[in-house]
Chains A and B, each alone.
Chain A
Amino acid sequence: MRRIFDYKTLIPRWIAVLLAVPFIILPLFTTNLATLSMIILSGIWAIAAMGFTLILRTGQFSLGQAAFMAIGGYTSAILTVKLGWPFWPSFLLAGVVAGIIAMVIGSVVLRVGGVYFSIITLALGEVIRIVAMQWEPVTRGSRGLITGPPDPIPLGVFEINFAVSAVPYYYFMIVLVAVTGVIFWQIGRSRLGGTFFSIAANPILAEHQGIHLMKYRVIAFTIAGVFTGFAGSYYAHFLSTMTPYMLGLWESIQIMIMSIVGGVSSLVGGPLAGALVLYALGIYLSRLPVYGIQQLLFGAAVVAVLLFMPKGTGLVDLWDKFWRKVFREPEFYEIPSVE
């Protein structure tokens, strides 16, 4: 007898969509800048973490994602501040430039594998920071660039004015996260995603099957670069400033931690969960008056998640586990094993 609809997959999906609703209607209840900021910034980091997870899907571990945020941030900052472009084209170009640079760097660097690739991305991140600092005529060096809010968008009688409140920033962030999420989700489900997976699982077999390893690694790296560039551009405009020291090694580490703690099994949900939880945790911890405890608890929390979650999963898998318990399905974990 065929089920008319598979409630076991539909119900969790619909509830996931419902979970998004509080976020969408939040500005109706509070325009408190501190709260909205926290979610906006979590969203930005979530996008960067999605990029990291995508690259991880092909078996590579990039410690330089914050550098792509910096590239995106600087591109749109330079275009808006120095060349006077409006925000929206600069934003789009920021993603494109970050993607192109990712493609170029990836073609050269992805050929080395494993830990060497991680170290190179680490070193590249530092080099980009140093270049941003030295290239004074363009980036204004250590002082950085001061960006402004996007211009108001007229919509009939109303006007979406970024300068006046954070609500437009908030909704734009939701749109950006949604678009990125949908794109990444589709990639994950498509043949492309399957190819990424097979490269990570068994590169030798994949090569024997005729899959050109480098091509797919570079594709993943480029896609991640584009969206991380968008995230970086938005970051620079939200904070109104872009300095070489804002996005360095420690921020790349932060992105990596958000992705892994959120759960690498999911391309979209994992980074979102990881970014939201860890960023909110960070903010609340920084309100504690005992200084030093924030770093301590943050590190301890990450280690705790790694220790107590079943191996290979993250926070987002708690969601899966919960629904399987509800429907009494046997547990089945898909661990994408990466070389």
Chain B
Amino acid sequence: MKRWYNIATMVVITVMVLGVAWAPRPAHAEEPSIIKIGVPTAMSGPAAAWGQAGKAAYETWVEVFNKAGGFRVGDKTYHFQVIHVDDKNSPEGGAAAAKQLIYGEKVKFLAGHWTWNFPAIAAVSNPAKVIFMTRTGNEAVPGGVYNPKKMPYVVFANPSHEQFTSDCLAITKAFPKYKKIGILDCTLGKGIGWDYVDAALDKEGVRYHHEWFPVGTQDFAPYITRFAEAGCDIVYVAGWIGEAMAFAKQRWEMGYKDMRVGHSGPFITPLAYLGVCGKEAAQGFIGQYWACWDFKVTKVKRTYVKMCKEVMEILSEKQGKPFVYTGWIGWLPSHLLILSQAMEKAGTVDDPDAIMEAIRGGTFETTTGTWTMSGAETYGSPIVFGCPSALSTIKGDKEVYLSEYPMKPLP
């Protein structure tokens, strides 16, 4: 009896072992590969507000993007991962940030860049064959340092100079009876970029007047008086938030209540403007608008609108109060969509030359609309994206749509 018992046990064990060895294994979920994106941006110092405002939004958007399936090249799925490094808005900081991202963190691309150190970062990224998605402006302007032969891996995913011109046109569209647009910039920004913008504005017949203020100015009374004497009834500040707020407040207090003020940058939150300028002085403040669900002229793909709205909801929940900053929509998400579509088109994630080939002159659908890369003649290579140039204004304590002047393709 015992012998049968032993044989039976051995048979059962053998069957079990064989069964386990030959059982069909459950299919492992395919692990998506990670594409690392480096974001050199100002996280400290006076320009940090924008860099910091975007960080949480970018990381959330990447989560939403990855959750929605990421993107596929060939038969592999890819997800993005963003790494922010402070570039201190200076050439030394930018070079150090680029080096840390490329050689330390081993990122594949640099994107979401908007600070003032384009040449220093391009000097690091081009030899390393890392595609650098940034904005025009600073040195990246026709007649500036950008040279498609010397810098083959640069994409101007945000056409800032061109956007400024379109913003001015959007202003004239919103206020057809305007007298003159005053353009205020810090001496930091003086250069041929403005010659380029001026030429474009002249071509469109816009009346304008330039003024410059030294770095660190808080007292704008002299400049307000000069603009008033020059006959400007709208003053559009080239990007300096704190200074634009100060300007708006001081012009109201000096009695120039009919002078409209705006800045070529998004509102981080209208409440800050009410707090700094005063409720009345802040009314009608003009800023750049990136809420893609509100665009009246530019069409944005429904999926992307939904994704952006989802990000806003997640962030509102996280911080316990409504998250109203929309500036992030026009930057890194748009850059990443261009990159992913280019990689899909090129059929590779590893060949920067092929990816650049796919980007040049290509058409891409992003969170800010569908645009074709242009600028073959102006910049020497068609790598300048477009933009809706939507403007908003402060009404009450909210930001509301004002007008839009989609950028025309560059020659």
B169 within 8 A of A: no
User: Does B145 make an interface contact (CB < 8 A)?
Assistant: yes
Of the candidates B44, B102, B119, B190, the one having the most CB atoms from chain A within 10 angstroms of its own CB is B119
Q: CB-CB < 8 A to B119: which residues of A? A: 144, 146, 240-241
Interface presence of A168 (CB below 8 A): no
For A, the interface residue count at a CB cutoff of 8 angstroms equals 28
Q: Output the least CB separation between A123 and chain B (Å).
A: 14
Chain B interface residues toward A at CB < 8 A: 43-44, 48, 52, 85-86, 88, 90-93, 95-96, 99-100, 102-104, 117, 119-120, 123-124, 127-128, 138-139, 144-145, 187-193, 215
Q: Which of A141-182 contact B (CB under 8 A)?
A: 141-144, 146, 163-164
Q: Is the CB of A133 within 8 A of B187?
A: yes
Bound CA–CA A146/B144 (angstroms): 9
- Interface code A28-52, partner B: CB below 8 Å = 1, 0 otherwise? 0000111001100100000000000
Complex Cα gap A325–B93 (Å): 40
A positions within 8 Å CB-CB of B: 32-34, 37-38, 41, 133, 140-144, 146, 163-164, 239-241, 243, 245-246, 283, 286-287, 291-292, 294-295
Contact B120 A239 (CB under 8 A): yes
Closest chain-B Cβ to A242's Cβ sits at a distance in Å of 8
B96 and A164 contacting across the interface, CB-CB below 8 Å: no
In the bound assembly, the distance between CA atoms of A142 and B88 in angstroms comes to 17
Q: In this complex, what residue of A is CB-closest to B84?
A: A289
The CA of A283 and the CA of B100, in the complex, are separated in Å by 10
Candidates B44, B91, B120; contact of A292 at CB < 8 Å: B44
Of A32, A140, A141, A241, most buried by chain B (CB within 10 Å of CB) is A241
CB distance from B48 to the nearest CB of A (A): 6
Shortest distance between the CB of A45 and any CB in chain B (Å): 10
Neighbouring A residues of B104 by C-beta, 8 Å: 32, 34
The closest CB in chain B to the CB of A37 belongs to B99
Q: Which residues of B contact A141 (CB under 8 A)?
A: 190-191
Assembled-state Cα–Cα distance A246/B193 (Å): 20
A–B complex contacts, Cβ < 8 Å, 24 sampled: A32-B103, A32-B104, A33-B102, A34-B96, A34-B100, A38-B96, A41-B96, A142-B189, A143-B139, A146-B139, A146-B145, A239-B120, A239-B123, A240-B123, A241-B91, A241-B119, A241-B123, A245-B90, A245-B188, A246-B90, A246-B91, A286-B96, A291-B43, A291-B52
The distance from the CB of A72 to the nearest CB of chain B, in whole angstroms, is 16
